[in-house]
A = this chain, B = another copy of it.
Amino acid sequence: MEVQVMEPRKVRKNYHHGDLRAELLRSARTLLEQQGISVLGLRAITRHAGVSSAAAAPHFGNLTGLLSALATTGYEELAAALEPVLEKGAHAAGLVYVRFAINNPGLFTLMFRSDVIDRKDPILATASTRTSRMLTLLIDNLKDHPPQRTRTGTRAAHWGKVHGLAVLAIDGFLDVLLSSQGEDMSLEDLLDDALR
Contacts and interface: CB of A to CB of B under 8 A. Distances in A.
A178 B132 CA distance: 13
Given A132-B173, A163-B164, A167-B164, A153 B194 contact: yes
A167 B167 contact: yes
Q: Which of A37, A162, A173, A174 has the most CB of B within 10 A?
A: A173
Contact of A156 (B155, B183, B190): B190
Interface string A117-142: 00000000000010010001000000
Interface residues of A, number: 47
A4 interface: no
Q: DSSP majority for the A interface?
A: helix
Contacts of A150: 183, 185, 190, 193
Interface in A147-183: 147-157, 159-168, 171, 173-174, 176-178, 180-181, 183
13 contacts: A132-B176, A136-B177, A149-B196, A153-B194, A156-B165, A156-B191, A156-B193, A157-B161, A160-B162, A160-B164, A160-B168, A164-B164, A167-B167
